[in-house]
Amino acid sequence: MNDFSHLDETGKVSMVDVTDKMPTCREALAEGAVFLAPETLAAIQDAALPKGDVLTTAKIAGVMAAKRTAELIPMCHPLNISFVDVRFSLQNDRILISATAKTREATGVEMEALTAVSVAALTIYDMCKSADKTMRISDIRLVRKTGGKSSHKTTYRPRTGVLVLSDSISAGEGEDKSGKILKAAFEREGCEISHYEIIPDDVALLSEKVGEWINGGTELVMTSGGTGMGPRDITVETLAPKFSRRLPGVEQALHAYGVGKTKTAMLSRLTAGVIKNSIVVCLPGSTGAAKDALAVLIPTVFHAFHMMQGEKHSATEK
């Protein structure tokens, strides 16, 4: 949900920073109910209540409320909502309300859908309260959400290796930061880190290490460094010819995200592909590139392993 309130170090509430999250198409469906007397339902159907058309008013109220959710709930992020719809189903003792909200943002629209249902229900209550003292609002809940982490299968966790290429760091003249960022992030996601090494920019050694790791069962190889324009940047030339399949979509997503933050990212020659049954992603050696890659790849890259095993897409994926 995009109600991201939490306590910071001083005990104060704060909004979660979603700056580094990728915008994706997101959708949420919420439902609720207003219980009424049968005669009240009949009056609604006959447009016989003093305040007029109950359901049309409630629909407009729900749509308006969804668009103003961030003004009502303090820690919600303001979203550019692309679609909202509120619908009603009249039954024997209740009106069922459903609300759908859509966006293409870095966080979801669950709160917008829930707010639409809630305000639509309150509007029905207000329109009918003079005629029905038995009304009650109940069962407001999130039914479904898609987009972001929930839009495809990502439960599989590959054995992962992190290989840092740097003449200076391997010689002890600097400290690896990018590789540690990658290693820590995949560990947090539940991946077994089968290897983490730092080597110089050496063609033979790079080829040897990656081959050994893949033959030993490493399923995801993340390299850091050697994708630039320098004379010692040899990662792409060494590994790309070994790919049985390129992953241009991964490359494009990484490039697009990086360029959106730093123009010099367009100079990177990062690449991604498949060697045997393993995925290899070759990243620039900066900490920024590592963080950007994590924002793009996790958890979507895990879906690739479901695909490689021949599994079908999840039921929520359109």
- Going by the annotation, the residues of the binding site for substrate are 75-77, 111-112
| DSSP per-residue codes, 26-88 | EEEEEEEEEE--HHHHHHHHTT-STT--HHHHHHHHHHHHHHTHHHHSTTBPP--EEEEEEEE
Q: Which residues pair with 31 in a beta bridge?
A: 98, 141
| CA atoms of 87 and 60, how far apart (whole Å) | 11
Phi-psi bin for 310: left (phi > 0), alpha (psi -120 to 50), beta? left
Cβ atoms within 10 Å of 127's Cβ, excluding its own: 20
126 in catalytic set = yes
**Two tokens at 221?**
């190889």
Among residues 8, 53, 85, 126, which one is catalytic?
A: 126
As annotated, the binding site includes 75-77, 111-112
Return the axis-axis angle of helices 110-128 and 38-45, rounded to nearest 10°.
100
Which residues are catalytically annotated? 126
